[in-house]
Amino acid sequence: MRLFLVFLMVHTIFIPCFSFDILGKEIPLTLDYYMSTCPTVFEVIKKEMECIVKEDPRNAAIMIRLHFHDCFVQGCDASVLLDETESLQGEKKASPNTNSLKGFKIVDRIKNIIESECPGVVSCADLLTISARDATILVGGPYWDVPVGRKDSKTASYELATSSLPTPEEGLISIISKFYSQGLSVEDMVALIGAHTIGMAQCRNFRSRIYGDFHVTSALNPVSETYLSSLQKICPASSGEGDSNVTAMDNVTPNLFDNSIYHTLLRGEGLLNSDQEMYTSMFAIQTRRIVSKYAEDPVAFFEQFSKSMVKMGNILNSESFADGEVRRNCRFVNT
């Protein structure tokens, strides 16, 4: 009941009807962009996401992560969805994405329904942004208004996908700089990483953590020792063995969007090095305070997460916006 009340207490986030691209140029996005051309788009996506998350709650995290990986590479323009072709090198095979980024068939499924109702109107970038919001709500997270009007890019960037996305073993200072380069603050970073409360991680991404300093940050209390032992059974020490085995980043409420991930960090049990760094790194003076605040106050976390998701969703690329399109198939540029 307490979690339900927390959800009700979170205020709707109202968005100004403009955004800024990665160079600071003002670009218009509005809440009513599809009012006359596809008035049912929000309802269509909501209903389909309800089915998708009901089929597997993990699909919520998959869609949020897909949106994140899109926006961090040349803005929120659906470049991450493009398949490799003879003339285009996509982002799907970049090291942060390969063998781990999912959700492309979910996007296809939703896109096909929208195209049957409003052909050639709703961009894949908007579809992904709205789906991430609905995914969050469906597993107990907050609501926020989604401004729309994005265009789909005709290009992708393997190089930027390789260099711009934070990695699981990265240090705190490096991760902060990657968020700053997108116009996102330290507060945004800590809030957005809170989405790991419903995330899964592959063994290859947490092996060094559980065979490294996990026992130090968790202070080897009996409960942590039991948890660590279970993780090591999932993820053997030898590289290449069980690399694709997965486990939840929040081992308490893995299918519920709440503030539990921050309590995990306070216990020193963060599964990913990049997460735990926010609390135990020698450079974590500011992030430690924010982690503690969100652990203590779930309403503050929900409110900031909403604002930060809007801010991230408003990262646009003026080139894609000016020369972009509405793809008929999210995997390919229109011909």
**pLDDT, tens digit, 9 for 90 and up, residues 260-287:** 999 999 999 999 999 999 999 999 999 9
| CATH node for 183-311 | 1.10.420.10
pTM of this structure:
0.92
Q: What are the residue ranges of CATH 1.10.520.10 in the chain?
A: 40-165+313-323
Backbone torsions φ then ψ of 276, nearest 5 degrees = -65, -30
For residues 323 and 307, give the distance between their C-alpha atoms in angstroms, rounded to a whole number.
28
250 assigned binding-site residue: yes
| Active-site entry in 11, 69, 215, 263 | 69
For the question of residue 69 being annotated catalytic, the response is yes
Q: Is 324 annotated as a binding residue?
A: no
Closest by CA to 204, choosing from 272, 269, 266, is 272
Torsion angle in degrees (nearest 10) through CA of 335, 93, 139, 32: -30
258 marked among binding-site residues: yes
Contact 127, 66 (CB under 8 A): no
CA dist 65 → 127, 169, 260, 315 (Å): 14, 17, 18, 15
Q: CB of 15 within 8 A of CB of 147?
A: yes
Taken as a whole, the chain contains a residue count of 335
Domain spanning 40-165+313-323, CATH architecture:
Orthogonal Bundle (1.10)
Residue span(s) of the chain under CATH 1.10.420.10 come to 183-311
Tell whether residue 146 is among the known ligand binding residues: no
30 is in an annotated binding site: no
What's the pLDDT at 12? 45
253 is in an annotated binding site: yes
79 has binding-site annotation: yes
Tell whether residue 73 is among the known ligand binding residues: yes
193: amino acid identity, one letter: I
pLDDT at 25: 54
Low-confidence ranges of the chain (pLDDT < 50): 1-18, 20, 22-24
Which pLDDT score, from 0 to 100, does residue 221 have?
Answer: 82
Q: Say which residue the tokens 């003002």 belong to.
A: 26
**In DSSP terms, which residues pair with 273 in a beta bridge?**
none
